[in-house]
Amino acid sequence: MRAFVVLVLCAVAVGPARANEASRATSREALGMCEEVDPDAEHKTAAIDRLDRAIALAESAIAADERDTLAHLALFCALGRQLQVAGLSWRSFARLQRAHQEIDRASELAPDEPDVLVARGEFLCQIPRPLGGNQALGEKLLARALELKPDHVAGRLYFAKAIAARHAPDARAQAYEALAAAKKAGAVREQAEAQELLASLDN
């Protein structure tokens, strides 16, 4: 399964003004720890252990300020990466349900925040329908994020991938838009993914 949690990389600016400083600092630490984990490069046990620490930090931030959107995104990130490391299966259903709850809560707190919309949209597009996925709603959320922030690099990329998955006629155009946005932002990984997507559309 693709790493749907990568899309919270831009989320460090998210969060209500009322979030207290202690909560925000812990949230940032938890999110940073989550983003440092590379499931493809680290040993499975080591990666899960580091993500457990990120989860504990995020939970601490939520305890300090339950309305800190970034804390909920950090917890979503860590849970999502654990799913990526361990694999998505019925045995991981509890972790998946909790990830659902955290991104839904973030959405309640910041319904028009592009990072939250992208995170939830990609999440819904990636997981199977029997486990709570919803391709149509996921695409709608991604499109809304791009209305609010047209240069959102992750949003452009994930929207292009989502419509390409159902062979939409404008998938190629959207992939080029994603590539252009990634180049403009200097986002190397996103550029590579956009180029891979374009190559796949040629086949």
Residues 33-75: tens digit of each pLDDT: 998 888 777 788 889 899 999 999 999 999 999 999 999 999 9
Gap between the Cα atoms of 94 and 73, Å rounded: 18
pTM (predicted TM-score): 0.86
For residue 15, pLDDT over 50 is answered with no
Comparing C-alpha atoms, which of 74, 86, 94, 69 is closest to residue 29?
Answer: 74
In tens, the pLDDT along 182-197 reads 999 999 989 999 999 9
Q: Mean pLDDT for the chain?
A: 87
Backbone φ and ψ of 83, nearest 5°: -65, -40
Q: What was the pLDDT predicted at 36?
A: 87
